[in-house]
Structure 1
């Protein structure tokens, strides 16, 4: 039997009252199950943290000792329990260590996707489909008018830009994916990386994800036009508003983060509409609960065929 209140939002975040734990809590709690290491999902200060090895490594890099008082790192597809709920981490394809959280309670399977994507990505574990009675899905891009382009074709746009490029990207996940793709599909480019991204790259390398050639940025390097691509986090990208002799791009699935209509680089690490529909088909849920976006389009799409509840 599906429990309508199996998880629900309170002031601390998404809470499972049947085993006293939170999924990606927004404030410090006693028991936190963390789907992945991006800062909007992985907060510091929790007492007990349950997550994958990679996610915890990134949390330690960012938060140090405040990552958790006690950490429990669990491999993919390995059951563990909190109270009377059995949980399993399933690869989510979003970034290294990202996990869907499959929760089983009294014979009912609830699947929390966290952030996920279906597009191929050589810098993380690919998403795995799993059956569930309830799919609790992010709906960041759950809009029939949203279709993410082929990321390879997007990266190949860089081949037509012969001057140096200032490329904005988030430090964790996006930057590493870009480094790998530029090496694979625009190999004549020389990749420079902001110094704050390099420690993240080191964790990737340690985990066995080979990003390819890149080096830390040096101010003198980009004075020459040698088809450099300088990858910088958002706070640095915004400080280069007056930079000359460079093409400014920002890699994102969000239209508002594109620099201008002529020079776009649409590369998203989330599922678009068609991939969300495919995930629902593969999961086969009786109910869909949406969060992290607008679930209205899914509710309208499935009408009475599948019950859709908007958690947020």
Structure 2
């Protein structure tokens, strides 16, 4: 039987009272199950954390000793228990180490997606599908008007730019995906990496995900027009607002960060409307609960066939 109160939202985040744990808590808690290492899902200071190995490595890199008191590292598709809840991490395709969280209790199953992606990505584990009675999905782009373009065609835009490029992107996940794609689809480009991104790259490569050719940025290098692509995190990108001799591009899937087709690479690490509908078809839930966005469109689209509940 599906329990309507299996998870709820409180000041600390998404809480499962039946197991007394939080999913991606927003404040430090006693027990946290963390889907992936982006800072809006993986905070420091939790007492006990369950996550994948790469997620632990990224959290240690960012938070050092305050990452958590205790880490429980669990591989994909390996069942574990918190009290009477049976859990498993399922590859989410969002970034290296990202996981959907499958929870089973009293004969019902609940799949919390965290952030997930269906588009191919050579820098992380591809998404895997499992069946669940309840799909608890992020709905960041759950809007029929939002359909992501082909990321390969987006990255190929770089081939038509002969000047050096300053490419802004989030340091964890997005930068590594872009680096791999530039090597694959614009191989004549010479990729330079900001020093803050280098240790993240090293974690990817230690975990068996080669990123291609790149080197650490040097100021003298960019003085020559040699089709350099300098990948930088947002704070550096914004500080170079008056940079000359470069084409400034920002890579994002967020509408409020889109400038125009000439200054933006629309490459998202989230599901769009069609992807969410595909996920629902693959997972075949009896109910869909939405998080992190506006689930109203899904509710209107699915209500006659599937019960949709908006958790936030």
Once the two structures are superposed, the pairs formed by residues 135-214 of structure 1 within 5 Å of their partners are 135-214=135-214
Once the two structures are superposed, the pairs formed by residues 230-269 of structure 1 within 5 Å of their partners are 230-269=230-269
Q: May I ask how many residue pairs the two structures share in their alignment?
A: 312
> Within 1, Cα distance between the matches of 2:167 and 2:82?
43
Q: What is the aligned partner in structure 2 of residue 95 from structure 1?
A: 95
Corresponding residue SS for 2:46 = coil
Q: What do residues 18-45 of structure 1 show as CA deviations (whole Å, max 9, x unaligned)?
A: 0100000000000000000000000000
> Within 2, Cα distance between the matches of 1:158 and 1:145?
26
> Within 1, Cα distance between the matches of 2:205 and 2:92?
20
Corresponding residue SS for 1:69 = strand
User: Normalising by the residue count of structure 1, what TM-score does the alignment of the two structures yield?
Assistant: 0.99
Gaps of 5+ in 2: none
Q: What is the aligned partner in structure 2 of residue 229 from structure 1?
A: 229
Judged with a 3 Å threshold, the aligned counterparts in structure 2 of structure 1 residues 259 and 222 are, in CA distance, closer, same or farther, namely farther
Contact 1:53 1:75 in 2 (8 A): yes
Gaps of 5+ in 1: none
> Within 2, Cα distance between the matches of 1:10 and 1:162?
51
User: How far does residue 258 in structure 1 lie from its aligned partner after superposition?
Assistant: 2.6
Q: Root-mean-square deviation (CA), in Å?
A: 0.7
Segments of 4+ moved more than 3 angstroms: none
> Within 2, Cα distance between the matches of 1:261 and 1:224?
26
Once the two structures are superposed, the pairs formed by residues 279-298 of structure 1 within 5 Å of their partners are 279-298=279-298
> Within 2, Cα distance between the matches of 1:259 and 1:308?
34
> Within 1, Cα distance between the matches of 2:125 and 2:9?
29
Q: What is the aligned partner in structure 2 of residue 113 from structure 1?
A: 113
User: How far does residue 261 in structure 1 lie from its aligned partner after superposition?
Assistant: 4.0
Contact 1:249 1:259 in 2 (8 A): no
User: Normalising by the residue count of structure 2, what TM-score does the alignment of the two structures yield?
Assistant: 0.99
Corresponding residue SS for 1:39 = coil
> Within 1, Cα distance between the matches of 2:223 and 2:258?
25
Q: What is the aligned partner in structure 1 of residue 59 from structure 2?
A: 59
Q: What do residues 56-98 of structure 1 show as CA deviations (whole Å, max 9, x unaligned)?
A: 0100000111111011000000000001000000000000110
Contact 1:248 1:259 in 2 (8 A): no
